[in-house]
Amino acid sequence: MLRSSLRRLIIIAVLLAVAIVVLAIPSWDVGPGPLKRGSEDLLGLRLGLDLRGGVHLVYEAQGENVTKDQMDGVASIIERRINAFGVAEPNIQVLGNNRILVQLPGVENINEAKKLIGDTARLDFKERVCQDPACSTFQDQDVGLTGDRLSRAFPGRDGTTGRPVVHIEFDSKGADTFAEVTSRISSKSPNVDRIAIFLDDRELLAPVAREAITGGRAVISGAADFTTERVRTIAIQLESGRLPVPVQVIQEQGVDATLGADSLKRSLVAAYVGLGLVVLFMVLYYRLPGVLASLALLVYVALVLAVFKLIPITLSIAGVAGLVLSIGMAVDANVLIFERMKEELRSGRSLVASVDSGYARAWTSIRDSNISTFITCFVLYLFGSRLGASAVTGFAVTLFIGVALSMFSAIFVSRTFLRGMAAGPLGRKLGLFRIGPEPARAPATGLTAGRS
């Protein structure tokens, strides 16, 4: 038993150390975007709009027979535009059949956010035929090349001069059209004709094609105005392409950063008070087992916060409520187990046998109650996802994760602590378990036959 308890304690210590390291490092980036974790917020957790401040927008697609692929395409383009501008931890998701939720933490100006996202921007590439060397007089001709054929656009630097440039890449069909146009332009003498690029019928730039470009990859270089910032902006505008369907803002809401900070402070106070009251109750009522359960509860809190950061979970006020509720449910499992243990101890069993029997008998009740909670979380998540109620989905996700880890805490962590304590000298002092000797029973009254 000692070896088994020691192995379990080592596992718990390792998990706790990993959780502390995860929470201690604000953020890290061990690879591409999907592997980036952490933020500048509390413990590196990702905080929602109500705790951090920001902009909440809901877009609705205009028109009939909008397909799921089109909505996914709109969401992808909006996310690409937002990520390019460096908005931290945006939340973009498709709601139902024709709506998209956009949440931008840290952005204070709603109009700026709407301008950032844009609407039905259309990107066109045209052949510009110049009438003079300075190209002061020209005629633009449509060549059938649009942003639909642009696969990628990103900023970079020229390998020879080190100046900022824009890299563009087309798909196979776009590459063929681009090669045909650049071949025609570069073959003319003098080489003054250009490729004019328009965004929403507004000229973005008009570079000269010095040679035929095959393969679908090209580099746009410029004069002194091609600064790092301008190159980045041009790449974003090119990358944005166009939205597959027109969209319109139907709901907009801004959360002030000061209000978000105040909400965060109040949420933390509520969490601390809730945790403190639970610990106080467990220690006063269950004595030594309550102390061990409280230690297991602190381990649980560290593990659940680390999981929130690793997934990552956007923590809102509703999410904090789900976390506090899961703490209460974690203690509820310990209460069931401790009451079963007390019954076993009163029946005369040893402490080790009472611990094992208490967990075995309480497990079915813990399992069934938590399964019903999981089902409720699943229903709430579906309901919130369909209606765009991010508070409901946040509550459901945090509660689900919290309850799942609370089962691990009650069955594995608390049990390990109790078994380790039972093997020591404290295991013989039943008074520490709020268990005393059985009260003396008065002899039963009755009638007996008398003697004459």
Q: Are residues 285 and 416 in the same domain?
A: yes
CA angle 142-149-60, nearest 5°? 100
By CB atoms closer than 10 A (0-12, 13-18, 19+), residue 121 is: middle
Q: Are residues 208 and 145 in the same domain?
A: yes
Q: Are residues 382 and 408 in the same domain?
A: yes
Average pLDDT score over residue span 343-370:
83
Residue 440, in any domain of the structure: no
Q: Are residues 200 and 264 in the same domain?
A: no
Average pLDDT score over residue span 394-421:
86
Q: Are residues 296 and 403 in the same domain?
A: yes
Task: For residue 33, name the pLDDT band (cuts at 50, 70, 90).
Answer: very low
pLDDT digits (tens, 9 = 90+) for 124-160: 899 999 988 888 889 999 998 988 788 888 888 888 8
Distance CA 315, CA 46 (A): 6
Q: What domain count does the chain have? A: 3
b/e sequence 255-294, b meaning 16+ C-beta within 10 Å: beeeebeebbeebeeebeebbeebbeebbeebbbbbbbbb
Residue 235, in any domain of the structure: no
Domain around 60: 54-120+245-253
CATH (domain of 299): 1.20.1640.10
328 residue type, one letter: G
Task: For residue 180, name the pLDDT band (cuts at 50, 70, 90).
Answer: very high
Residue 134, in any domain of the structure: yes
The structure's pTM equals 0.61
Mean pLDDT, the chain, rounded, equals 80
Distance CA 262, CA 172 (A): 53
Q: Are residues 114 and 192 in the same domain?
A: no
Q: Are residues 311 and 371 in the same domain?
A: yes
Q: Which of 18 and 39 is assigned the larger pLDDT?
A: 18
pLDDT digits (tens, 9 = 90+) for 218-234: 998 876 678 887 887 78
**Looking at 229, 264, 279, which one is the last position of a domain?**
229
Task: For residue 378, name the pLDDT band (cuts at 50, 70, 90).
Answer: very high
Least reliable range by pLDDT among 72-86, 117-131, 357-371: 72-86
Task: Provide the percentage of residues in the chain whose pLDDT is more than 90.
Answer: 12
And the tokens for 273? 């008070």
Return the pLDDT at 310: 85
Q: Are residues 285 and 407 in the same domain?
A: yes
Residue 77, in any domain of the structure: yes
Task: For residue 110, name the pLDDT band (cuts at 50, 70, 90).
Answer: confident
End-to-end CA distance of the chain: 63
pLDDT digits (tens, 9 = 90+) for 265-301: 787 787 788 888 888 888 888 888 888 888 988 899 8
Average pLDDT score over residue span 48-77:
80
Q: Is the dihedral of CA 39, 40, 42, 43 positive or negative?
A: positive
Q: Are residues 36 and 184 in the same domain?
A: no
Q: Are residues 209 and 131 in the same domain?
A: yes
Q: Are residues 176 and 267 in the same domain?
A: no
